[in-house]
Amino acid sequence: MRVVIRPGVRAMSDRPWSHLLPPGVRADYNPPVATLNELMRRAMSEFAGNPALEYYGAQMTYGDLRARVARVARAFLAAGLQRGDRVALYLPNTDWQPVWFLGVLAAGGTVVNLSPLDAPRELAHKMTDSGARWLIGVNGESGLSRIAGLRQALPDLRILLCEDRVTPPVVPLPGYAEDAEGFLHPHAGADLPEVPVTGEDVALLQYTGGTTGEPKAAILSQRNLAAAVQSYGELFRLEPQYGSDQRALVYTPLFHIFGLTTNLLRRFNEGAKVYLRQRFDAAEALDLIHEHRITAFGGVPTMWIALLQQPGIAGKDLSSINYAVSGGAPLPVAVMRRVRELTGVNIRGGWGMTETSPVGINIPPDLPPGKEGTVGIPVPGIDIEIVDAGDPRRVLGPEERGELRVRGPSVTRGYWNRPEATQEAFVDGWLMTGDIGYRDSDGYFYIVDRKKDLIVSSGFNVYPVMIERAIHEHPDVADVAVIGIPDPYRGEAARAFVVLRQGAEPFTLEALNRFLAERIGRHEMPQELEFRTDLPRTAVGKTSRLALRDEDRRRRSETAG
Report the domain count for the chain.
Answer: 3
Q: Which of 348, 498, 361 is nearest to 433 (CA)?
A: 361
What single string gives the DSSP state of each residue in 495-507?
EEEEEEPTTPPP-
pLDDT value for 13: 53
Distance CA 254, CA 270 (A): 18
pLDDT value for 561: 65
Identify whether residues 443 and 550 lie together within a single domain. Answer: no
> What are the pLDDT digits (tens) for 443-472?
999 987 667 777 889 888 788 878 988 998
pLDDT value for 460: 85
Domain of 427, in residue numbers: 349-450
> What are the pLDDT digits (tens) for 24-68?
999 999 999 999 999 999 999 999 999 999 999 999 999 999 999
SS3 241: coil
Residue 167, judged by CB atoms within 10 A of its CB (0-12, 13-18, 19+), counts as middle
Contacts 24+ apart (CB under 8 A), 328-334: 328/258, 328/300, 328/301, 328/456, 328/458, 328/459, 328/460, 328/491, 329/300, 329/301, 329/456, 329/457, 329/458, 329/459, 329/490, 329/491, 329/492, 330/301, 330/491, 331/301, 331/304, 332/301, 332/305, 333/372
Identify whether residues 407 and 464 lie together within a single domain. Answer: no
pLDDT value for 329: 60
The percentage of the chain sitting over the pLDDT mark of 90, rounded to a whole number, equals 73
Identify whether residues 361 and 224 lie together within a single domain. Answer: no
Domain boundary among 236, 260, 281: 281
Average of per-residue pLDDT across 181-200: 96
Looking at the domain assignment, is residue 321 inside a domain? no
> What are the pLDDT digits (tens) for 368-406?
988 888 999 999 999 999 999 889 999 999 999 899 999
Identify whether residues 191 and 240 lie together within a single domain. Answer: yes
Q: Which residues pair with 216 in a beta bridge?
A: 208
Residue 1 has pLDDT above 50, yes or no: no
Radius of gyration of the chain (CA): 24
The answer to whether 239 and 365 have CB atoms below 8 angstroms apart is yes
Q: What is the DSSP letter of 56?
A: T
> What are the pLDDT digits (tens) for 241-274?
999 999 999 999 999 999 999 999 999 999 999 9
pLDDT value for 303: 87
CATH number at residue 462: 3.30.300.30
Which secondary structure element, helix H or strand E, spans residue 510, and what is its range?
helix 509-516
pLDDT band at 161 (very low <50, low <70, confident <90, very high): very high
Identify whether residues 266 and 357 lie together within a single domain. Answer: no
> What are the pLDDT digits (tens) for 84-132?
999 999 999 999 999 999 999 999 999 999 998 888 888 999 999 999 9
Distance CA 255, CA 169 (A): 21
Count other Cβ atoms within 10 Å, centred on residue 472.
12
Identify whether residues 444 and 472 lie together within a single domain. Answer: no
pLDDT value for 540: 46
pLDDT value for 463: 80
Identify whether residues 75 and 154 lie together within a single domain. Answer: yes
Count other Cβ atoms within 10 Å, centred on residue 393.
10
CATH number at residue 389: 2.30.38.10
The answer to whether 302 and 459 have CB atoms below 8 angstroms apart is yes
Identify whether residues 530 and 411 lie together within a single domain. Answer: no
Residue 9 has pLDDT above 60, yes or no: no
Distance CA 118, CA 35 (A): 30
Identify whether residues 275 and 257 lie together within a single domain. Answer: yes
Looking at the domain assignment, is residue 305 inside a domain? no
CA dist list (Å): 211 to 216, 360, 418, 485, 536: 11, 22, 15, 17, 19
Residue 41, judged by CB atoms within 10 A of its CB (0-12, 13-18, 19+), counts as middle
Identify whether residues 499 and 429 lie together within a single domain. Answer: no
pLDDT value for 459: 85
Identify whether residues 361 and 479 lie together within a single domain. Answer: no
The answer to whether 336 and 347 have CB atoms below 8 angstroms apart is yes
pLDDT value for 4: 31
Distance CA 479, CA 497 (A): 8
Average of per-residue pLDDT across 210-233: 89
Residue 133 has pLDDT above 90, yes or no: yes
Domain boundary among 408, 423, 450: 450
Indicate the residue type of 496.
A
Residue 559 makes CB contacts below 8 A (sequence gap 6+) with: none
Distance CA 148, CA 501 (A): 35
Identify whether residues 442 and 523 lie together within a single domain. Answer: no
pLDDT value for 559: 82
Count other Cβ atoms within 10 Å, centred on residue 29.
19
Residue 177 has pLDDT above 50, yes or no: yes
Residue 172 has pLDDT above 80, yes or no: yes
Domain boundary among 263, 281, 299: 281
